[in-house]
Structure 1
Amino acid sequence: SGNQPPVSPSSTLRRRQSLKHLLAMAAAAISGGHLVLSTPASTRRPQSLPLHPPSARPIAASSASAARHGVAAAAVSSPAAVPSTGKDAKQLPKDFLHINDFDKDTIMKILNRAIEVKAMIKSGDRSFQPFKGKSMAMIFAKPSMRTRVSFETGFFLLGGHAVYLGPDDIQMGKREETRDVARVLSGYNDIIMARVFAHQDILDLAKYAPVPVINGLTDYNHPCQIMADALTMLEHVGRIENTKVVYVGDGNNIVHSWLLLAAVIPFHFVCACPKGFEPDAKTVEIARSAGSKIEITNDPKEAVKGADVVYTDVWASMGQKEEAEYRKKVFQGFMVSLPLVLYCHLHQF
């Protein structure tokens, strides 16, 4: 993040490890954010909290739709697996728009399968090609180096071909209606990934596209990034459940996706932000009602006590550059600096 000093190299996981981009529903890929892991607190009491998975939108029954859904599901199934089509088969949403569109069991299966595929590719085994002969249209209303490279590389490593469509290639709602963009791209491609501004744009794409749609980022949430961070937690902390994750900074779309993950898997989430920059209250309530402990505070030092993970993001995102100078003043102290990391370690137990 350009507005914040670097944290201790020994404490920071780099922005994204290359093969971590093989998640979510289409060789999923991630951009941005910093994840800092601290020593797990052995004195934290485990929780046992009930979860109520959200209702999933059923998949269309036509054979064409089932085939399209199989493209999305292939990334998390075993190389020899064939999607079940029986009447007792579990119905998953067609699209990957919000983490809490899926239940805990499905999210954990995606993450565990990502670990397996990552190990397979790192070993040099490129035999798992679930997207061979498939193409993915990538809509970038918001440009991003990391999101483009990670999605495109991840899809290629799994056998597919990605088509980049930048801000000047598609102007949804201006040059063409979103529904027309969805229908045209679905005719040529097997999957659509979109990184857009308005959240309604991703909802409309999913509504009108018969092929799976992946949310690469909206102003409301960023599910693929948090899925990759959840994978990092599994690799370095060993678990997601019953951990304490502390976010320091703006209560933005990153925070909303952490909250939606907490609505599926119970953990303690704290957002430390300046007054007036809190996350969406309804999203906070979704996570709390699911059983996770959620705290919103204006004190970063108090927040990081006993944390397993400390996380931050840029102060001014794309589309907020006119506020950059103002935010730079307001967010002083809300950064993952070396003093805050040391304070976290000193108050770990």
Structure 2
Amino acid sequence: MTLNQLRAFLAVARLGSFSAAAVALGMTQPSISELVRRLEEEYRLKLFVRGARRLSITAAGEGLLPFAEQAVQAADQADKSLRSLTSLTGGVAIFGLLRNANYYFLSQLIETFHTRYPEVRLKIVGLNSVEVAEAVASGDLEAGLVVLPIDTDGLQVRPLLRSEVMFVSADPERTRAPMTIEGLAAAPLVLYDAHYGWRDPTRRQLSERAQLAGVTLDASVEVEHVESALGVVAMGGGDTIVSRAIVESATFPSGLHTSVFEEPLYDTIAVVQRVGAVLSPATREISRLAQSILLEHADPADRLVPAPRP
């Protein structure tokens, strides 16, 4: 039993003749007859009674009818699903974003993509870079944006741009000069991404510097979100570090003061996917669009690759 045989059988049953079925399926009448004949011979059952003026379906044909309809419908749906993966008229775009993606103008990503491709479903996951990298490596995500450094085993990494990391305090005296790693070690630190702790990429960079300088970095307060950390700092609860993109955002609290590090420190943003993986068309397009939006709003001096066309 083949799908072609079932399609021919269904067309004859619905239209009542071999000639009409042939026209509907774009085949010749002998071809339709042959497909039905082979199906009947395979099971040694008559599916139709061929009269002089009309064609009648038999009891065996009536029994086959609902199963033939289900099989053909399932095959058509499977075909549509697979074809949607080679176009942008369907399918799912799965992409991981930075936890603080909105500060990099990526809040417009979903709206822009959905406007251009309304038939594509989106699964956008906002995670810490550690978890994005792990999810891409395991295949739970097709691709994503991360802050480096991350564990790169099995990953293809494309650095896109850098954003300088800055020291933030409510005390203007503490920001009059560039911050040193020794000064940071002595500060009452309020750090975010508490769940990931020192696995967080920015913290990893600071920890490595502290080790080389022979000092230890400890947090007085740890919270989950950067907004919470800035709120604690604004109330005089300590000092923190954030990227320049956050400092320059409209939501950065007034009254806070910033300074750069004596040895400049940067968050490097990269796009990652598994080595050798072929992205679905939908995910490939949202990845391209995310990179375009990110680079479009970046200072040219911070871009590590040319800005693609939107």
TM-score by length of 2: 0.30
**Which one has a bigger Cα radius of gyration?**
2
Higher share in helix: 2
TM-score normalized with structure 1 length: 0.27
